[in-house]
A and B are shown apart, each in its own frame.
Chain A
């Protein structure tokens, strides 16, 4: 089936847009609740080059998932997003659902943590996969079916032409996540969002899925935004890292350099508090005192200040502005570049 060979990589190369595929400026996500307005994401800016993989790291409540939800137009009803999100130069933040549908599934798509709840349990895999193609690519049923089977084979689902007729519950967790990935990549999107894609899986299956995302994104030229709490997953998949705390970017830059020499006290703390499988140290782990903030309330200063070992009086009242050097950015009063 040579006609189904994926050509997005070649297409991307010949078109070679110098501009970023995704550009987020000053994104703010707020939720209206009975307890007042909660700011989940605050002043987040980042851009993504074609073919690049970026990892957004943070603990619960850091707002990492809400960034993706805001871009995809999937915020809960009480949520609003402001700022700017440009996909290939086109503003998509705040578009109506029917306008967004031209991008969702086609130019950008998303995989979630729990494949069982993101697949429809009442529909065969075949129905769910072909719908994407008939809707976005205008394919006829039979052609869509052939295409879907090829895609399942690409994500290493054995006996794909038979298994495509099964229902989601008839697959194992790892297989379901493969189905999700095949669905997300069916229209060869330029951009793939992955929200904790391997958190529900065993390490052995996680390794398979990470390899798969790496390989497919590589051959199809897809850019990846990976949201995770697992620094190991980021290290294995991403070129760049964004560290989020309390809805704000603490630090960002090339993965290799951030893991090598973190600048921000929070990044240092995160890396230090993880036990490592390759280290023979059994003493006390470094800890960050306290708990992650349960609700991101807008504070005039640095959100990490209550837990920070290097805090000064001004950290509470004055927000540290991002400073940049050598492609790295950090927002901390204590760091002087």
Chain B
């Protein structure tokens, strides 16, 4: 029996209007996200992968309503989150936090580390003395691998990995149920990346929160995620349990994506079957008809141009959208 989902996203769409030219003409839209559905369970990490422009970051922002979706809805703990507004929205948002790719740029350079981590608490005041708040901040900072002596220092005094720890502490201070991680380790050196990945996994084990984890690094996603979602041009191509997806990708796009990652072992790398996608991502302004991936797909046929393949279930929660999956 699966627990009730923390988050249910149904047919979520984000279309950005293009600026019209001098002569007007009809309004054109960039369909950054075009009908994405998934669920996220409590304590689960859902990895989101895809090339730049596939809608990974837009999806996360739309879930948090940092950009307003143009269609679809999100159900948060059984309530329709997409309809909340004003105070109700603000109160619910304390349960969902985000950490960013560039750790230094996401911290205010004129605030001390203590002020940065404490700031969310001031948005949701409780009866608490400043000294008690500071003690909470110091405790959390220690938990993320920092030190209370950091409290009165400024962000520029810290390295990338340390800034990311501070960003994580700020996101955790309100005890959220969902943490959106938008490329949190991409700007870090390999040795520091491992520290932050371990930290995120420890925090999840301790507090049981859920992660939406975006990364272009497919190895990191395999390591940290329970399930993985593959996006292409704003659509879901495949969702599966992590090892299932990496061992047995059903969609040709997932397969090509995984095959493109070079292995840190020359022998295995040479022995690996060669599978290469041609060309770049098509413009989201004018996506291909039918299956969006067909222009780069080695298996594409006339059917793929005519008809968009629906997402189908292939057992064990493994879903994929392709006309040419034979099991």
Contacts and interface: CB of A to CB of B under 8 A. Distances in A.
Contacts of A276: 219, 263-264
Interface of A: 59-60, 172-175, 202-208, 210-211, 229-236, 255-256, 259-260, 269-271, 273-278, 280-282, 284-288, 291-292, 294, 307
Interface string B162-202: 10000000000000000000000000011111110110010
Contacts, number: 131
Nearest to A174: B280
Given A60-B189, A287-B191, A294 B159 contact: yes
A287 B195 contact: yes
A203 B49 CA distance: 11
Interface in B237-252: 242-243, 246-247
Contacts of A208: 276-278
Most B CB contacts (10 A, CB to CB) among A229, A255, A285, A286 go to A285
Given A203-B218, A275-B222, A236 B262 contact: yes
Nearest to B264: A231
A292 B161 CA distance: 10
A277 B218 contact: yes
A160 to B, nearest CB: 15
Interface stretch (B81-89, B133-141, B266-274): B266-274
Nearest to A62: B189
A175 B260 CA distance: 17
Contacts of B159: 291, 294
Contact of A275 (B189, B223, B243): B223
A260 B242 CA distance: 27
A291 B261 CA distance: 26
10 contacts: A207-B277, A235-B263, A269-B191, A273-B191, A273-B193, A274-B190, A277-B246, A278-B263, A288-B191, A292-B189
Given A203-B218, A235-B269, A270 B190 contact: yes
Contact of A256 (B162, B193, B223, B267): B267
B51 interface: yes
Nearest to A290: B191
A174 B113 CA distance: 39
Contacts of A175: 280
Contacts of A274: 190, 194, 219, 264
Contacts of A260: 265, 267
A155 to B, nearest CB: 13
B217 to A, nearest CB: 8
Contacts of A173: 280
Nearest to B199: A287
Nearest to A236: B262
Most A CB contacts (10 A, CB to CB) among B52, B161, B190 go to B190
